[in-house]
Chain A
Amino acid sequence: MVVFKTPDRSHACGSHIHISPGTHREWSNDELRDVAAGIAYYESYLHELIPATRRNNQYCQRNTISSSRLRAYRPQSGDAWDKLLPVLRSATKAEIVSLMQGDRKVLWNFANVVHGGTGTIEFRGGRHLRGPVRTKRWIAFAIAYIHLLLKEASIPR
C-alpha cells in the first residue's frame, strides 16, 4: 500500500470502509438480514470499541438512534427484539435499508445496496487514518466483523 501524501492530523476525520461480498456479486437478502440483525444486536458493544471521537458523531450515528423504527426493536427494550426478526425475515432490500437508517450518516450504511449504488455495506465508524498500518487494521476489523455476523449470527428462516 502506497501513501502519496500523509494528511494532517485531525480528530474531526474518520474513515469509511466499503465491504462488498466479492467481485461481480451482490449481497443477497439473507446475508443482508443476518448482517442487519447482528449489527442491531451487538451495536452497544461495537460502540464501545470505536474511537471516542466517532461515538455519537453526527456523521456516524448509531443505527438505532438514526432509525426510530429500529430504536423500538433494540435488544434492551424487552420483547421488542423478538418482533424485529419476523419483520426482517420478510423484508426486501429497500425495506432493510429504510429500517436500518434514517439517512446515510450512520455507523453501518446500507444505502449503497439499493438504487444502483456500489452494492456495498459501509462502515463509517473507523478512526482517522494516515498510514498503511492502521488502515489495514481497520479494514481487517471491518471485514472480520461482517464475517462474524454472517458466520456466527443468523436469524432463523
Chain B
Amino acid sequence: MMNLLLSILTCRSNKAICTRGQFPVVLSSRDLFNKVRQISHELGLATNLPLDPHILNEDISTPRRAYTRYPNNPPRYMDNVQMHPTVYTSWLNNTPSYMNSAQMHSTAYTRWPNSPPSYANSAQMHSTAPDYRARSTQRANAEATYDQAPEEEIEISWESIGPVIYVLHFVFASTVAVLYGIDIYYQTYEYPEPAVDPRWVFAEVVSSLSIVICFVYYGLFRMGRIWYYGYICDGLLSYVLPVFFSSSIPHGCCSFADRLSYFELSFLWLVVFGIFGKIYIAGGHTGSMNHAVWVDLLNILLWLGTAIARFVWWLRSSR
C-alpha cells in the first residue's frame, strides 16, 4: 500500500505508473542496500553481508583508530550525515529499520545504550586516547589484522587430538609387531625343529591387541559422536551406549570401559618391556631387537600418558 502511494506521489500520471514498470521505491542508497540485504537473507547469504554498507567500502589503508581526528568526528569515508544518520532512528531507543525490537534491546550486546558490549571493557568503550604509535606500526598492525576472520580457540581435549593419538598408537604398535614378527620368522628356521619362543608370541599378541583396540576405539570415537548427538538413534540408546562404548562423550569425558583398557594396555607393554629389556639391554646385545625394546618403552609411555591424560580430562569434566 505504502509502495503504491509513494509511486503515485513520485509519478506524474497514471499512465506513468503503468509504463514505468514495478520498481520498488528506493529513497536512498542505504535503502537500496537494506533491500539487497533483505533478499540476501532469503537466499541464506545474510551472514556474509554486514548490516552497514560502509563496512563494504571501509578504507583499509590505515588502522581504524586513525580515522577519527576527534572522538565523534566522522571517519574519512563518511560525511557528517552518514555519521549521524537520522534516517535509522526517529527517537532515541527506537529500533532502526534493519533491527527488530528484540535485537535492539538484546542484553547480549549492550545492557544500556552506552554501556560497553561484552567484548569491550569500559575503558576500551569510552577511550578518547589517540593512537600515538608510529605510522609504520599502525600500518603493520592493520596489515597483520587485515581481513582476518575472528579466531577460533582450539581447546586441547580428546575431541581435538584423539585421532592423532590413535595414529601414533597404530604406528608404534605395528612397528613392534613387524620387528618381533621378523624375529619369529627366523626362529622357525631353527634346527632340528622350529622352536618359537612364547615370549616373542606374547609381544606379538600385545602389539596386535594394541592395533585392534586403536582401530576399534577410533571407530567408536567416530560413532560415539554420532550416537551422542543422536543422528542415528534418537532415543534412550543414544544416552546409554556412549557410557559403555564411546570414547568421545563431549568435554573429554570417556567411558568406563576404555579408561580401564588404556591402563591395562600400558601394563601389558610394561611386561613386554620388562621381558625384553632383561634379555637385550641387560644382556648387552645390539641390533634391531635391541631397538625394538626402546619402541616398547615408547609404547608404555604413549598408552600410559594417554590413560593419565584421559583420566585427568575425565576428572575435570562435568561427568
Contact = CB atoms under 8 A, between A and B. Distances in A.
A141 B41 CA distance: 11
A41 interface: yes
B53 interface: yes
Main secondary structure, interface of A, reads helix
B16 interface: yes
A153 B20 contact: no
Interface string A28-49: 0000000001100110011111
Main secondary structure, interface of B, reads helix
A152 B32 CA distance: 12
A135 to B, nearest CB: 9
A51 B49 CA distance: 15
Most buried by B among A45, A132, A136: A45
Contact of A137 (B35, B48, B60, B146): B48
State which size class the interface on A falls in.
35 or more
A138 interface: yes
B149 to A, nearest CB: 6
B244 to A, nearest CB: 41
Contact of B24 (A133, A147, A153): A153
B19 A130 contact: no
B287 to A, nearest CB: 48
B77 A52 contact: yes
Interface in B188-226: none
Contacts, number: 107
Contacts of B148: 131, 133
A130 B77 contact: no
A52 B19 CA distance: 34
B28 A45 contact: yes
Interface of A: 6, 9, 11, 37-38, 41-42, 45-52, 81-82, 85-86, 127, 130-134, 136-141, 143-145, 147-148, 151-156
21 contacts: A37-B23, A45-B32, A49-B33, A49-B57, A51-B57, A52-B77, A130-B147, A131-B146, A133-B147, A137-B55, A137-B56, A143-B43, A143-B45, A147-B42, A152-B22, A152-B23, A152-B39, A153-B21, A153-B23, A156-B19, A156-B22
| The 6 nearest A-B residue pairs measured at CB | A131-B147, A144-B40, A48-B29, A140-B48, A140-B45, A155-B21
